[in-house]
Amino acid sequence: GGPYVFACGRHVYYKGLEHLVEASTQVSAKVVVGGEGPLTPALKLLARRLRANVEFTGVLAERALIDHLHACSVFAFPSCERSEAFGIAMLEAQACAKPVVATRLGTGVEYVNLDGQTGLNVAPRDAAALAEALNRLLQNKAMAAEFGDAGRERVRREFDVRTVARRELELYRSLL
């Protein structure tokens, strides 16, 4: 029940989930984090220590993941290292018409989440900026819906399997 921010992925160093847990203390909605990994115990400890409004779901079955993507208000992608090269999870959220708050890493993350079009991008490791962007979309439902619709349309247009396969084939042909 109620609006919530959703993030999911393997709980590893480059996902920046500790910054999302920290930001959650300033976010006006619950934060739900799916997945598990080596950092799960530390993230749970941090959430308890900060008295953060965070729920950890553990690994989600495909249907549960899809349900969360449809039910959430905003999708968070707080990665903090250039090891995060692209971000398929953002495409999955955008396919469900969800606005995304991601980080500016100088990688494909910004290509997936177009700042001011499909969501908002903030500096990595900046919990205050992350919270501010999440709250902005939680409080401005029209903007969130506009970004969500734009993301879904872009996924359909740019990331459809036939479109990607055609572009890849054209690239190979151009290199031969």
pLDDT digits (tens, 9 = 90+) for 79-123: 999 999 999 999 999 999 999 999 999 999 999 999 999 999 999
Token digits of residue 107: 């990688």
Between residues 136 and 176, the one the model is more confident about: 136
Residues in the chain: 176
* Interval 63-82 mean pLDDT: 98
Between residues 1 and 84, the one the model is more confident about: 84
* Interval 9-31 mean pLDDT: 98
Q: Above 80 in pLDDT, residue 36?
A: yes
For residue 165, the model assigns a pLDDT of 85
For residue 9, the model assigns a pLDDT of 96
E strands within the chain? 4-8, 30-34, 54-58, 74-77, 100-103, 119-122
Tokens 């909605």 -> residue: 29
Helix (H, G, I), strand (E, B) or coil at 35: strand
pLDDT digits (tens, 9 = 90+) for 48-67: 999 999 999 999 999 999 99
Helix (H) or strand (E) holding 29: none
Distance between CA atoms of residues 67 and 49, nearest Å: 29
Give percent above pLDDT 90 in the chain. Answer: 90
Of the candidates 98, 126, 125, which has an alpha carbon nearest to the alpha carbon of residue 113?
Answer: 98
Contact 95, 70 (CB under 8 A): no
pLDDT digits (tens, 9 = 90+) for 141-168: 999 999 999 999 999 999 888 888 888 8
Q: Above 90 in pLDDT, residue 68?
A: yes
E strands within 63-147? 74-77, 100-103, 119-122
Q: Above 90 in pLDDT, residue 176?
A: no
